[in-house]
């Protein structure tokens, strides 16, 4: 949870909208203090407005936007692989959005003349009510998959009701307001837990006869020869998955990936390549079958790195802050796994990817290629044993592409397992030991690269396997 709080505080520090939020909050507060001499009830009304803005609307909405941002930039994958679980993650988010309101309201209310006991009752009631609102946002978004107006309204309802009840019946004990809101929060959190368990899966398993968490040293690697390892790093067994009942994306996929193998996954857009990655990491639960990551090959989920669409970097943070966040997230009492912020420039990966002069640049200010470099370096700094790259050469320059080819070669020598989704056949030829192709929900090609006579034979075989004919296509440009 400490890592989540660190990240969220830096997000607030970098936020361009934060000054506007503070102004909207402080304006009615100042107005309430000025009106105190004129009318106690007027001051109380202004304080109500002060509470309605940050608690009834901003807290649930900020929660929603932060979680949605984590999904878009791939931070949700990083958090999942860290093993901290949904509880500490949600707790960190809740503390971030509730702490400012809970600490700022008492002095404002006391200055406006509201009695101390009433202030404390308001703080407790509104904090629990806001918690219910946040939980409602998360529950609606998790269950329905929607982050739209329905979840926002669900989040605003409990705090708004609590404020109205508190003002309509000021002499009623505060617990009568707190308890319904607390019950709503508990129900919503239970719904989130059930939905998350239904959606996510624990894919890490120990091999028979070996205790979980032990990493077996790999045999010496010599190019594709490592594919003969006696440890299956990833096993996909009869996996079937669809995003709806009528559309099957993956249909009874079976796949074993030995430790130390570099596997390239080809296929047209929309055939389920990224979906397969998310099933392997446990971010999605298949409708049938299972995916298993061998704990002897990776140790624990911290040994898994998946480069997602958003590169796993929070856009509002600097590269340095993103790496520190990941370091705090992955650190444990037994294995701190810390990377010193002040010595980050000396890390070989930082130098190799040309990031030393950009560590204090915000990710949002980076070019697409530099952002991809930063995302790969941030994940590889923690020495993962299973590396899953989703189109790593997309949006990068030729120099970065050559750098990735060299890195994959060294990872193979170190006995790491690499899974790469790519459309770049030349990159595939130069980095992979084995290639599979997905099409129409099934594996339509599965061969080792050394089975092809040369690159032309490889390219011809891949192109012939379900690729659409792009010759002599009529785009209609010649029509009058």
Query: If you compute the radius of gyration of the chain from its CA atoms, what whole number of angstroms results?
Result: 26
pTM summary value: 0.78
Among the listed residues 247, 249, 210, 250, the one whose alpha carbon sits nearest the alpha carbon of residue 232: 210
- Confidence at residue 207, expressed as pLDDT on a 0 to 100 scale: 62
What is the model's pLDDT at position 177?
Answer: 53
Give 231-262 pLDDT, tens digit per residue.
899 999 999 999 887 889 999 999 999 999 99
Q: Provide the pairing of β-strand 434-439 with 442-448.
A: antiparallel
CB burial class (10 A; 0-12, 13-18, 19+) of residue 436? buried
How high is the pLDDT of residue 213? 39
Residues in the chain, total: 480
Segments in the chain below pLDDT 50: 144, 146-148, 208-227
Digit-coded pLDDT (tens) for 328-370: 888 765 555 577 777 888 889 999 999 999 999 999 899 988 9
């Amino acid at each position: 949870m400490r890592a989540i709080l660190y990240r969220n505080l830096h997000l607030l520090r970098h936020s361009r909208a934060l000054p506007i939020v503070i102004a909207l909050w402080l304006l009615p507060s100042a107005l309430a203090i000025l009106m105190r001499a004129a009318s106690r009830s007027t001051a109380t009304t202004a304080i109500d407005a002060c509470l309605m803005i940050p608690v009834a609307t901003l807290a649930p909405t900020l929660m929603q936007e932060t979680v949605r941002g984590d999904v878009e930039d791939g931070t949700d994958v990083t958090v999942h692989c860290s093993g901290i679980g949904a509880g500490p993650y949600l707790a960190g988010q809740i503390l971030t959005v509730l702490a400012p309101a809970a600490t700022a309201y008492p002095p404002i209310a006391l200055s406006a003349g509201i009695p101390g006991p009433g202030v404390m009752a308001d703080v407790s009631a509104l904090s629990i009510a806001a918690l219910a609102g946040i939980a409602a946002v998360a529950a609606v978004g998790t269950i329905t998959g929607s982050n739209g107006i329905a979840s926002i309204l669900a989040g605003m309802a409990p705090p708004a009701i609590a404020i109205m009840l508190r003002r309509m019946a000021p002499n009623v004990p505060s617990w009568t307001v707190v308890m319904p809101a607390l019950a709503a929060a508990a129900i919503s959190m239970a719904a989130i837990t059930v939905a998350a368990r239904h959606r996510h899966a624990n894919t890490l398993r120990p091999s028979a006869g070996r205790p979980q968490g032990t990493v077996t040293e790999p045999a010496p690697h010599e190019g594709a020869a490592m594919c003969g390892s006696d440890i299956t790093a990833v096993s996909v067994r009869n996996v079937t998955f669809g995003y709806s009942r009528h559309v099957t994306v993956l249909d009874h996929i079976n796949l074993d990936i030995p430790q130390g193998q570099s596997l390239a996954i080809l296929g047209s857009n929309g055939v389920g390549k990224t979906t397969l990655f998310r099933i392997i990491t446990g971010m999605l639960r298949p409708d049938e079958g299972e995916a298993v990551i061998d704990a002897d090959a990776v140790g624990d989920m911290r040994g898994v790195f998946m480069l997602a669409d958003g590169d796993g970097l929070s856009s509002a943070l600097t590269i340095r802050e993103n790496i520190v966040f990941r370091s705090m997230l992955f650190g444990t009492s037994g294995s701190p796994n810390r990377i010193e912020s002040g010595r980050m420039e000396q890390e070989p990966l930082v130098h190799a990817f040309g990031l030393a002069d950009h560590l204090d640049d915000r990710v949002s200010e980076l070019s697409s290629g530099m952002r991809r470099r930063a995302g790969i370096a941030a994940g590889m700094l923690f020495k993962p044993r299973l590396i899953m790259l989703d189109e790593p050469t997309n949006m990068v320059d030729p120099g970065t592409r050559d750098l990735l080819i060299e890195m994959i070669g060294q990872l193979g020598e170190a006995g790491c397992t690499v899974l790469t989704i790519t459309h770049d056949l030349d990159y595939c030829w130069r980095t992979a030991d084995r290639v599979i192709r997905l099409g129409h929900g099934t594996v339509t090609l599965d061969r080792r690269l050394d089975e092809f006579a040369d690159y032309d034979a490889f390219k011809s075989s891949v192109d012939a396997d379900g690729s659409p004919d792009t010759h002599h296509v009529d785009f209609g440009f010649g029509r009058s």
